[in-house]
């Protein structure tokens, strides 16, 4: 892509992501579309829905220009499928779908088929497996024994893996099981083996009865969904502790408060809500879809104050845009077309919240920020409802309006109007912070063509650093090593208070902010509650209880480094252990040997790690060299290298070696393009691991899939650092996201 018109102002990284993921390509994979052409086809396609409601060609052209101006200015962006597919042959514009899974083989495999169709079109899917009879139950037609919901989830996972290989956008799933299902304990522990369910986010549908039983240390009943009879009872606190401990270990399962979700179900007569989309922010009925979009709050600040007039105009146009999407959308399944148009749910959310706070000089973790969150989202909710009401006067209410919670009191076009969705890739395009998250870093390293490293600095921080006289290239590079500015003495304290990152904020403050937005959101809020590596399970428990008490609809947590540990600590060995030997003699070094050297950043300085293999292709030895020779760090790195070499020459599997070294922490930690480096030994372990994945070398079988590499903290597409935010995992370097 050579040039972009003056009407579209995108950063170099946004242009790179746009070219990689959104712009049209020919059969040879060459980009044949410019950014302004993409935005024009989107605006033209979505505006065309006005013709259906009696607007003239001239009036529709005016709407097109409004939509074009709104998205080219980056005031608002729709969800990724709309960016990808509007005005193109596929024409599927929705991000979120929920499919029913009933207790029959026909229903299960119909859902698998429909999942494949949706994933191929660029959507993500959610399922409740709560209607399936438990493992060990009787199958009436054959008198056999049911394998239970977890075994059938494997079928969905495998189908997703197959479909995503040829798709433009990863398929993602949400799997939900009710807390009172007899197989709940197996569901909680389903991801103990990391080779399973890598295409699923797992959440437990937690009921009010269960939460009351936890608080009062009572038992609760597990109910067979087939017979509706009590299967057995469990002590609620023990089950809750199991959930907490697994979330502490690797962030899953999450929890959704299903009774609270149904309390606010806008169409109860149309059915109960059992599941959500993959990131949990969009509860949907079976066969329902939703179209999402986000307002860029960074663009809604004038003279250090919220520009409510501009925000009002943007909300009005965004609601109009999203309602039009429902009509021009080409739904992948006819039933989805019918149910979606019966309720006409839209999900207008926000991004750039942290940027808004920074421009106004308000710390993210302050009472003032929480109050502003309620004010801004309350304003968006009010104006969104007003816009939907105006559309209802012109176009009619949604068909399932009768029997809804609105109950004839107000006329409204859309059953729901607001949702806070993750905006990982959208926020890269808009060059703003993601969703309602704090900054993920003040400065970070971005990899560009041919491995060149660039230092990306938050533009607001760069501006204030230059104005206040403490900017320097060296400082920006040192901040990029850490992400946070918390420990830099040369930075004024008032600046540190404003430019806080996810790990500068306590988990309780994360939840308080989520709850502030949830007060004025129809659907739910997708947000990650970040924990430091040394957080305890009790800390996770406290967050869960606070989220429930503050009326959140769900919780997603991530403890720093936990998934990296989990992959190494729970992976099953691929072969039986060798019989014990009385003596192990290391292999002798051959005359010639080959290998490669990796450059690794550590908090103690640069370390060069050389990994060599013998003539048979087996890993043989490892050497280290510190950028600054001498000293304790250099001698310890050399000692580690010698011991690793001895282990490799003694035929010990590399995975067993780096699992012992990886995750060891010291006081001086840093960040690299592949993730967090916690110590010199951690850097050596990751260098060995990267060499192993690159060539699939080893003394046995150590192959890992891309989805597992992603869990290790590195993006499977570009190797950049993966951040856990907005209930998802996102690479800010190339726009890769785990979630659809």
Please give the positions annotated as active site. 277, 279, 281
Asked if residue 435 lies in contact with residue 726, where contact means CB atoms within 8 angstroms, the answer is yes
Cα first-last separation, the chain? 25
Q: How far is CA 426 from CA 118, 377, 401, 404, 734, in A?
A: 21, 19, 32, 32, 12
| 3-class secondary structure per residue, 57-108 | HHHHHHHHHHHHHHHHCCCEEECHHHHHHCCCCCCCCCCEEECCCCCCHHHH
The Cα–Cα gap between 386 and 392 comes to 10
The Cα–Cα gap between 133 and 154 comes to 16
> DSSP states of 648-678 as a string?
HHTT--HHHHHHHHTT---S--EEETTEEE-
The Cα–Cα gap between 315 and 75 comes to 10
Strand partners, 530: 558
Asked if residue 488 lies in contact with residue 479, where contact means CB atoms within 8 angstroms, the answer is yes
Helix pair 367-395, 507-518: axis angle to 10 deg: 30
| 3-class secondary structure per residue, 278-301 | CCCCCEECCCCEEEEEEEEHHHCE
Asked if residue 264 lies in contact with residue 552, where contact means CB atoms within 8 angstroms, the answer is no
The Cα–Cα gap between 272 and 274 comes to 6
| Helix (H) or strand (E) run with residue 577 in it | none
Strand partners, 349: 294
The Cα–Cα gap between 8 and 69 comes to 9
Cα-to-chain-centroid distance, residue 640: 36
Place of tokens 């193109």: 88
CB atoms under 10 Å from CB of 51, counted, come to: 14
The Cα–Cα gap between 542 and 475 comes to 37
Q: How many CA atoms lie less than 13 Å away from 211 in the CB half-sphere?
A: 19
Q: How far is CA 520 from CA 374, 377, 495, 549, 726, in A?
A: 7, 6, 30, 16, 18
Burial of 57 (0-12, 13-18, 19+ CB in 10 A): exposed
Asked if residue 681 lies in contact with residue 687, where contact means CB atoms within 8 angstroms, the answer is no
The Cα–Cα gap between 627 and 73 comes to 46
Handedness of CA 725, 726, 731, 732 (dihedral sign): negative
124-128 vs 138-139, strand pairing mode: unpaired
CB atoms under 10 Å from CB of 524, counted, come to: 30
Q: How far is CA 351 from CA 154, 247, 380, 738, in A?
A: 34, 26, 13, 19
What dihedral do alpha carbons 2, 6, 9, 10 form, nearest 10°?
Answer: -10
> DSSP states of 356-421 as a string?
HHHHTT--TTSHHHHHHHHHHHHHHHHHHHHHHHHHHHHH---GGGTTSTTTTSS--S-S--B-B-
The Cα–Cα gap between 293 and 296 comes to 10
Burial of 483 (0-12, 13-18, 19+ CB in 10 A): buried
């Amino acid at each position: 892509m050579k040039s972009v018109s003056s009407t579209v102002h995108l950063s170099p990284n946004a242009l790179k992501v746009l070219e990689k993921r959104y712009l049209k390509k020919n059969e040879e994979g060459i980009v044949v579309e410019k950014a302004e052409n993409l935005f024009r086809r989107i605006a033209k396609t979505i505006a065309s829905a006005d013709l259906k409601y009696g607007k003239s060609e001239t009036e529709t052209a005016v709407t097109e220009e409004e939509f074009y101006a709104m998205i080219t200015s980056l005031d608002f962006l729709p969800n990724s499928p709309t960016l990808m597919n509007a005005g193109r042959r596929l024409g599927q514009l929705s991000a979120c779908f929920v499919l029913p899974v009933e207790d029959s083989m026909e229903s299960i495999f119909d859902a698998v088929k429909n999942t494949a169709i949706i994933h191929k079109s660029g959507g993500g899917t959610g399922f409740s497996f709560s209607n399936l009879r438990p493992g060990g139950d009787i199958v009436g037609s054959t008198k056999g024994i049911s394998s239970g919901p977890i075994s059938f989830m494997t079928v969905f996972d495998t189908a997703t893996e197959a479909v995503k290989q040829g798709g433009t956008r990863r398929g993602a799933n949400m799997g939900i099981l009710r807390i009172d299902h007899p197989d709940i304990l197996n569901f909680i522990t389903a991801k103990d083996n990391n080779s399973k369910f890598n295409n699923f986010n797992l959440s437990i549908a937690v009921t009010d009865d269960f939460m009351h039983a936890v608080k009062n240390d009572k038992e609760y009943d597990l109910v067979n969904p087939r017979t509706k009879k009590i299967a057995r009872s469990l002590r609620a606190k023990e089950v809750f502790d199991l959930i907490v401990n697994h979330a502490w270990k690797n962030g899953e399962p999450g929890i959704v408060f299903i009774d609270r979700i149904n309390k606010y179900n806008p169409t109860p007569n149309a059915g109960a809500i059992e599941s959500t989309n993959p990131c949990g922010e969009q509860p949907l009925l079976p066969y329902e879809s939703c179209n999402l979009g986000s307002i860029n709050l960074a663009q809604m600040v004038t003279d250090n104050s919220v520009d409510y007039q501009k925000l009002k105009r943007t909300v009005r146009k965004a609601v109009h845009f999203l309602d039009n999407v429902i009509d021009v959308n080409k739904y992948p399944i006819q039933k989805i077309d019918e149910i979606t148009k019966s309720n006409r749910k839209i999900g207008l959310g926000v991004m750039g919240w942290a940027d808004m706070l920074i421009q106004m000089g308000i710390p993210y973790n302050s009472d003032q920020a929480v109050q502003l969150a309620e004010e801004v989202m309350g304003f968006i909710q009010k104006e969104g409802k007003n816009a939907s009401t105006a559309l209802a006067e012109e176009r009619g209410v949604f068909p399932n309006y009768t029997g809804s919670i609105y109950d004839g009191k107000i006329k409204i076009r859309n059953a729901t109007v607001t949702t806070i969705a993750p905006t990982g890739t959208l926020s890269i395009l808009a060059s703003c912070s993601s969703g309602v998250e704090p900054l993920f870093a003040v400065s970070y390293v971005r990899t560009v063509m041919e491995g060149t490293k660039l230092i990306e600095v938050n533009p607001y921080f760069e501006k204030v650093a230059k104005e206040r006289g403490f900017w320097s290239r060296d400082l920006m590079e040192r901040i990029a090593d850490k992400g946070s500015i918390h420990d830099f003495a040369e930075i004024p304290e008032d600046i540190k208070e404003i430019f806080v990152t996810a790990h500068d904020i306590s988990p309780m403050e994360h939840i308080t902010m989520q709850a502030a937005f949830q007060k004025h959101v129809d659907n739910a809020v997708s947000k990650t509650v970040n924990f430091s590596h040394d957080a305890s399970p009790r800390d996770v428990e406290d967050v869960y209880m606070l989220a429930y008490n503050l009326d959140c609809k769900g919780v997603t947590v991530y403890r720093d480094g936990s998934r990296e540990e989990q992959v190494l600590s729970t992976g099953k060995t691929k072969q039986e252990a060798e019989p014990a030997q009385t003596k192990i003699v290391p292999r002798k070094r051959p005359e010639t040997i080959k290998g490669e050297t990796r450059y690794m950043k550590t908090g103690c300085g640069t370390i060069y790690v050389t990994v060599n293999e013998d003539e048979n292709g087996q890993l043989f030895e490892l050497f280290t060299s510190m950028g600054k020779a001498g000293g304790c760090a250099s001698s310890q790195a050399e000692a580690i290298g010698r011991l690793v070499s001895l282990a490799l020459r003694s035929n010990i599997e590399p995975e067993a070696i780096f699992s012992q070294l990886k995750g060891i922490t010291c006081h001086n930690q840093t960040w690299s393009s592949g993730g967090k480096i916690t110590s010199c030994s951690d850097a050596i372990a990751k260098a060995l691991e990267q060499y192993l994945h690159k060539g699939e070398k080893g003394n046995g079988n150590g192959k890992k899939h891309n989805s597992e590499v992603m869990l290790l903290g590195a993006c499977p597409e570009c190797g950049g650092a993966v951040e856990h935010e907005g209930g998802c995992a996102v690479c800010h370097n190339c726009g890769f996201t785990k979630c659809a």
